[in-house]
């Protein structure tokens, strides 16, 4: 049996009804009669940011080391939850700025890929700790002089932030310090950007 409360939660006892609180969440009642909050997938974004070394013409990609679960301490593509009323592209730009302080990117305005991040709850069999539906965006660092990578300042949910070549990302994968799906996303971006499919522009 499901109890759905749009604004007011009611507690039912015998023939009486008592108002116990206000909520916008949905609850369910398990077999033992306990009410538990139902969890739903959350909308999120990720941004694959590319910097090309002008001397070697080698692509490098921005990864952050996660401070918090899920994927705590693992290298991941920067991103996070979308705030209420926020457009997906604006959320991607905000996350990059918050986690690395990078602001001068050229963006592809459309999401090129959608993935799921589903993490089971180890404490409760059959339950899930996290489920994010992630819209992926692509951004490039404008051409720079010299072969020095743009400076990164990790903050917010990022313990660290670094530039990696595709081969270096593959090395991290073997070390098991890479979040699931990262190598597949970056490999796809590398092919699409090299083919000229992911065009970019300055977006305010």
Contact 1, 29 (CB under 8 A): yes
Residues 6+ apart with CB under 8 A from 98: 80, 155, 156, 157
Strand partners, 117: 132
Q: If you average pLDDT over every residue of the chain, what do you get?
A: 84
Q: What average pLDDT does this structure show over 27-39?
A: 55
Residue with tokens 């796809």, as numbered in its chain:
188
Task: Enumerate the CATH 3.90.79.10 domain ranges in the chain, comma separated.
Answer: 42-194
Q: What average pLDDT does this structure show over 67-84?
A: 95
Q: What average pLDDT does this structure show over 41-59?
A: 95
Q: Which segment of 3-17, 42-56, 84-98, 146-160 scores lowest on mean pLDDT?
A: 3-17
Strand partners, 2: 28
Q: Is 21 left (phi over 0), alpha (psi -120 to 50) or beta?
A: left
Instruction: Specify the CATH number for 42-194; select among 3.40.50.300, 3.90.79.10, 3.30.950.10, 3.20.20.70.
Output: 3.90.79.10
Alpha-carbon distance of 31 to 42, in angstroms, equals 26
pLDDT above 80: residue 5: no
- Report helix, strand or coil for 154: coil
| pLDDT tens column, 92-146 | 999 999 999 999 899 999 999 999 999 898 888 888 888 999 999 999 999 876 7
Query: How many residues are listed for the chain in this entry?
Result: 204
Predicted confidence band at 179 (pLDDT cuts at 50, 70, 90)? Answer: very high
Q: What angle do CA 11, 16, 20 make, to 5 degrees?
A: 30
State whether the Cα torsion 197-79-38-115 is positive or negative.
positive
pLDDT above 90: residue 162: yes
Cis peptide before 70 (omega within 30 of 0): yes
- Identify the H or E element spanning 92: helix 88-100
Predicted confidence band at 7 (pLDDT cuts at 50, 70, 90)? Answer: very low
Residue 144, pLDDT score: 76
């Amino acid at each position: 049996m499901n109890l759905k409360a749009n604004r007011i939660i009611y507690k039912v006892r015998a023939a009486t009804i008592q108002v116990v609180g206000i909520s916008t969440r949905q609850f369910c009642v398990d077999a033992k009669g306990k009410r538990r909050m139902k969890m739903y997938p959350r909308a999120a974004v990720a941004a694959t940011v590319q910097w090309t070394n002008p001397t070697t013409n080698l692509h490098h990609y921005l990864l952050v080391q996660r401070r918090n679960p899920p994927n705590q301490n693992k290298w991941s593509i920067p991103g996070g939850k979308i705030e209420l009323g926020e457009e997906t592209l604006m959320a991607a730009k905000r996350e990059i700025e918050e986690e690395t302080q990078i602001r001068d990117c050229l963006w592809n305005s459309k999401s090129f890929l959608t993935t799921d991040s589903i993490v089971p709850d180890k404490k409760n069999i059959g339950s899930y700790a996290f489920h994010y539906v992630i819209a992926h965006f692509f951004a490039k660092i404008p051409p720079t002089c010299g072969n020095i990578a743009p400076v990164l300042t990790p903050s917010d949910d990022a313990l660290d932030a670094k530039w990696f070549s595709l081969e270096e990302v593959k090395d991290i994968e073997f070390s098991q310090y890479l979040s699931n799906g990262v190598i597949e996303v970056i490999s796809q971006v590398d092919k699409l950007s090299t083919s000229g499919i992911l065009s970019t522009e300055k977006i305010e």
